[in-house]
Chains A and B, each alone.
Chain A
Amino acid sequence: MSGYRLARGGRIDRNRPVAFRFDGRDYSGFAGDTLASALVAGGVTLLGRSFKYHRPRGLLGMGAEEPNALVTVDRGPARITPNLRATQVALHDGLVASSQNRWPSLKFDVVALNDVFGALFPAGFYNKTFMWPRAAWEALYEPVIRRLAGLGESPVARDPDHYDATYAHCEVLVIGGGIAGIEAALDAAQTGGRVILIDDQDDLGGGALSDAALWPLLTDLKARLAGCANVTVLGRTTAFGYYHQNFIGAVESLTDHLAPAEATGPRERLWRIRAGEVVLAQGAIERPLVFDGNDVPGVMLASAGRTLALRHGVAVGRAVVVMAAHDSGWRDALAMAEAGVTIAAIIDIRDVVPGDLAEAARAAGIAVHTGCAITHVSGRHAVKGVTFAAAGTGPERHIACDAVLMAGGWTPSVHLWSHGKGSLAWSEAWGAYLPGTAIENCRAVGACAGAWSLGSGVITAVLPNRKPVRAQKAFVDFQNDVKARDIHLAVQEGMRSIEHIKRYTTNGMATDQGKTSNLNGLQIASTVLGRPVADIGLTTFRPPYTPQTFGALMGHHKDALFQPVRKSVIDDWATAQGAVFENVSNWRRARYFPRGGETMEAAVLRECAAVRNAVGMFDASTLGKIEVVGPDAAEFLNRMYTNPWKGLQPGRCRYGLLLREDGFIMDDGVSARIADDRFHLTTTTGGAARVLGMMEDYLQTEWSDLDVWLTSTTEQWAVIALQGPMARAVIAPLVEGIDLDGAAFPHMAGREGTIAGVPTRLFRVSFTGELGFEINVPAHEGRKVWDAVHAAGQAHGITAYGTETMHVLRAEKGFIIVGQDTDGTMTPADMGLDWAVGKKKPDFVGKRSLARPDMDAPGRKQFVGLLTEDAGELLEEGAQVVADPDAPIPMPMIGHVTSAYRSAAAGRTIALAVIADGRARIGQTVFIPMPGRVIRAKVTAPMFYDPEGSRLNA
């Protein structure tokens, strides 16, 4: 093929030349060109290599259906987009694109040897050959196959672009901006409702853009559309998926058609559209013909040749042969001839064609050969000529030509219709499936509904040829290199359903989802099986209609906005102090506060010692909080928690243990009774939403007679935990309205008053084993109170500590952390929390399950402490524990380490674990096998500091 720019015609702007590069060479096109049209105009024939055989390939189509001309567009570092269809890449100044799937160059590709040995790679070859041995998959097959097969390369650098997303609502959504779509939008606009019209091209018009006779109508329709204030037109937008209840996903390309320097704002926008009615006007895709040599570069769809000539002013070659089975090929040939393209011949498989077409062709000086079929295409990197014969088997004749156009009929685009679960009905007239009955409020119009006159034709499976199909390189799926012979082979090997044939041959499984191959594949299978197409079925279309970027699908969830990171009101202070943070659920919390280059270990040892010896302060604001209010509040809590709540006096706090109905620990926390009918609950940071949801569930659906209501107050209160022997002294000057004396305000009491002038709920509670308070103040005052406490604490050596120190201090006391020391299979007894279970209560959530036989069976894992024989040895959390390290592998594992720290108070490392019958093993030695060695540890009670609890009441 030696394409060239026609002297006139097309919708391009010949006053605006555009320079671009392809595979390192400079080219020039015009504004209004696609990369494909500009390359063809520049005489480029070879545009890519095929996926499996790396065969040289040229352009096939004109739009989204293009299987061959996949290119990589380079918009600068990290902005490299592979696998774009050259037919849909708008030309802009400075565009840099390259072909794919070739090495070292497009013209000379070593993997094309695959093609020479093509007989070795029939359908099913991979399935059958690479099944054994299994290890070879990792070592050999997969890496080699990945190198040989594959599309463009993914960019490796971070994507610097940003993406937008929006929801939209309309009464009528029209998908497809050809004549039928525009008319549907104009009709819908009359009703006054909101109308959205989506089209994937730069310019509205669809197929009419390639038909000069329709341009005046198009101009008129577009003017009328512009006058409708209730119509939103989204150009360069692809509707990629049709979901339940008329929910459509679409991606609008915002900047890729612009030169990088002119591109501002987001690159793409995800549209999530809910429509009252959807009108599909997606048009139809022309079908290739299957014959020997139909993939030689220069063989393409007639509609592509027409589009190049009429829309872009480009001739696909200097001598063009049309191979038709459909009237549209003749019309295309005539239109191209009129536009100045030399049509050497029209060959039609039909014996009889409409008289007007034949006459017009003869009048235009075009040789006509009816009842004939192309039997061979000569040329490897470009078409040099064709041979054809009457009925494919008669004497062969030769025509020199440099382009072959295929007109195999039309396939209505029913992709979105099928996404929407609409039924399909086989149409003999079209030789294709048409929309049948809709499930959604949806209708199809224009060519995709079969309601557009494209002429008539015959549907063929493979063009007749003297050579057997197995000896022909007659391609069905150009992107996945599936030939007619592969489908024959699949049927021979016993595949009957099109779903099996598809998977065996990979027909239609490439990124183009078989837009040009599905129907031909079906037709061939039907012929070989001797059964009607409709009996063989049709493979399912699934979103996306065309490949979409991850960026578009993520919308604004990128970089800093990737997901909300929740921060407490103390976060700024911690940041200023140089805190190291960790994520806990979706909160970020200060983990430790290193001073002067301290390691985490050093910082945590210092923070722990400060709490034990003086006083520490900790931001506990992320704890979940629930206000439980109503006359039945105590009754409700009594049913939820394991322990009794009715007798708790206002002004007192209690540890609450929450089980799931299956008896396993779900959450815990200390809660206070503020008044007879008001409780202040706390939950773990990560469990807050889960606990509230579970409590609401019981309240709404099981005990809806109770007069009690739950309000999340997690974010209402900032919480400052003040812990250590000096805690009382620190807050004494700040607190008013509360008697802090130990007798008046004992451990597990709660009082209301003010601190630093701010109303507070002050609880005397401890998660460290030290004298401690939790200061609850309204969140917006939290920072002020934090600063006041910090200032007041200076005289007492106050030290801020983070979650790591909090974990160590509680571990020294054997306090559990739900979700770390428990894993969803632990009972209160397993964790040594029997004391928190109300034995006399008739019922609570999970109680009945605790009575199931396995819940206290011997051999259950129990919560214990571990002390390594080497006091400096720190166990790894999650490490498995065994009783006999010499047992044969796989050796029986009896438990695992749940927590392990360096303890300042113990002067050594400590660990917590859950071990089968652990309490009976106290004093025994267990073993923790690690790579290359075995660690010995002694089982202890889970308590490493102040077992009498004397410090609490200091």
Chain B
Amino acid sequence: MLEIAPLAVAGIDLATGTAAVNGMVSGLPVCIAPAAPLTRWSLRARDAGALSAAIGRALPDRIGVVIDGIARLGPDEWYALLPEGTVLPGGAGLPVSVVEVTARAVGFTVEGAGAVAALARGCPLDLAGFAPGRATRTVFETVEVQIWATAPETYHVEVWRSFAPWLWHSLAAGLALTAGLD
């Protein structure tokens, strides 16, 4: 299980742990929780067809769209979030790049009527119109994240491993503050 270390840098010690946190943001309920284990892949190619053929999977053709666990992040970049144990062909010798990055990032789910408000505390995108099936790289304050809208009022947030404690505690602090739990 993902371990969210307490933050003890200066002053206030935030030690929320790794259990799901429930709270309110803007008066709306939110739950943040570590996501289930997944495999992660960074997929690159000039020609989407070549990549699709190399890994044997369909690829979304629009930037910001997800199909079957694969998001198109840029013109030559896709990112796959696939069930634990999935192995993709390496594409050796082909004009593609398949790199496993399962350990690079961790995922959180942010769920509930207040999920958009919880994310908006640090993400400058207008997520109100960010429908399920969309995904993008963006930032939460100074930290780069990916936000995937997986279902109504449900978001999967990807963040590089070493930034995860800060992000988790930042999200949790927002919930706790509003719920008056701190």
Q: Do chains A and B touch in the complex (CB under 8 A)?
A: yes
Residues of A within 8 A of B123 (CB): 167
Name the one of B101, B124, B178 contacting A711, with C-beta atoms under 8 angstroms: B101
Q: Least Cβ distance of A440 to chain B in Å?
A: 17
Residues of A within 8 A of B12 (CB): 162, 558-560
Known contacts being A629-B99, A630-B95, is A564 close to B142, with CB within 8 Å? yes
Tell me if A6 is interfacial: C-beta within 8 Å of chain B: no
Please report the C-alpha to C-alpha distance between residue A874 and residue B45 in the assembled complex, in whole angstroms. 54
> Given the complex of chains A and B, what is the CA–CA distance between A676 and B92 in angstroms?
9
CB atoms of A778 and B97 under 8 A apart: no
Contacts of A718 in B (CB 8 A): 103
**Does A119 sit at the interface, judged by CB under 8 A?**
no
Q: How far is the CA of A264 from the CA of B177 in the complex (A)?
A: 8
Interface size on B, residues (CB 8 A): 55
Q: Is B30 an interface residue (CB 8 A)?
A: no
Residue B120 interfacial (CB < 8 Å): yes
Chain A residues within 8 Å of chain B by Cβ, number: 55
Binds B, one of A109-117, A449-457, A565-573: A565-573
Partner of B93, one of A559, A676, A779: A676
Which residues of B in the span 149-182 have a Cβ within 8 Å of any Cβ on A? Answer: 160-163, 165-167, 169-170, 173-174, 177-178, 180, 182
Let me know if A587 is at the binding interface, CB within 8 A: yes
Q: Please measure, in the bound complex, the distance between the C-alpha atom of A168 and the C-alpha atom of B121, giving whole angstroms.
A: 8
A563 to B44, CA, bound (A): 31
CB–CB A557/B141 < 8 A: yes
Q: Give bound CA distance, A374 to B182, whole Å.
A: 58
Verify A711–B99 contact, CB threshold 8 A: yes
Does B10 contact A629, Cβ atoms closer than 8 Å?
no
Distance in angstroms between the alpha carbons of A157 and B120 in the assembled complex: 31
A264-B180, A265-B182 known; A169 vs B162 contact (CB < 8 Å): no
- Please encode chain A, from 598 to 622, with 1 for each CB lying within 8 Å of some chain B CB and 0 for all others: 0000000000000000000000000
Q: Is the CB of B177 within 8 A of A164?
A: yes
Q: Report B74-98 CB contacts with A as 1/0, cut-off 8 Å.
A: 0010000000000000011111111
CA distance A631 to B102 in the complex (A): 24
Question: Hey, which chain A residues are within 8 Å of B143, CB to CB?
Answer: 564
Q: Tell me the nearest residue of chain B to A717, going by C-beta.
A: B103
Q: Are B163 and A566 interface neighbours, CB within 8 A?
A: yes
Beta-carbon contact of A560 and B161 below 8 Å: no
Residues A167 and B9 in contact in the complex (CB < 8 Å), given A556-B141, A563-B142, A780-B103: no
CB distance from B67 to the nearest CB of A (A): 21
Task: Tell me if B113 is interfacial: C-beta within 8 Å of chain A.
Answer: no
Q: How far is the CA of A150 from the CA of B42 in the complex (A)?
A: 58
| Residues of A contacting B7 in the complex (Cβ-Cβ under 8 angstroms) | 560-561, 565
- Contact status A265-B178, CB under 8 Å: yes
- Cβ-defined contact, B166 with A556, below 8 A: no
- Tell me whether A235 is interfacial, beta carbon within 8 Å: no
| A560 in contact with B11 (CB, 8 Å) | yes
The 28 listed contacts between A and B (C-beta, < 8 Å) are A158-B11, A162-B182, A164-B121, A166-B120, A167-B122, A169-B126, A194-B128, A266-B177, A274-B124, A557-B141, A563-B166, A564-B167, A567-B165, A568-B162, A571-B5, A630-B44, A630-B96, A630-B97, A631-B93, A631-B95, A675-B92, A676-B92, A709-B45, A709-B97, A713-B104, A715-B104, A715-B105, A781-B103
B: residues with CB less than 8 A from A are 5, 7-14, 42, 44-46, 76, 91-105, 117, 120-124, 126, 128, 141-143, 160-163, 165-167, 169-170, 173-174, 177-178, 180, 182
20 new A-B contacts, CB < 8 A, other than A560-B14, A560-B169, A779-B103, are A162-B173, A162-B177, A556-B121, A560-B8, A561-B169, A562-B9, A564-B162, A567-B165, A572-B5, A630-B97, A677-B92, A709-B44, A709-B76, A714-B104, A716-B102, A716-B103, A778-B103, A779-B161, A780-B103, A781-B103
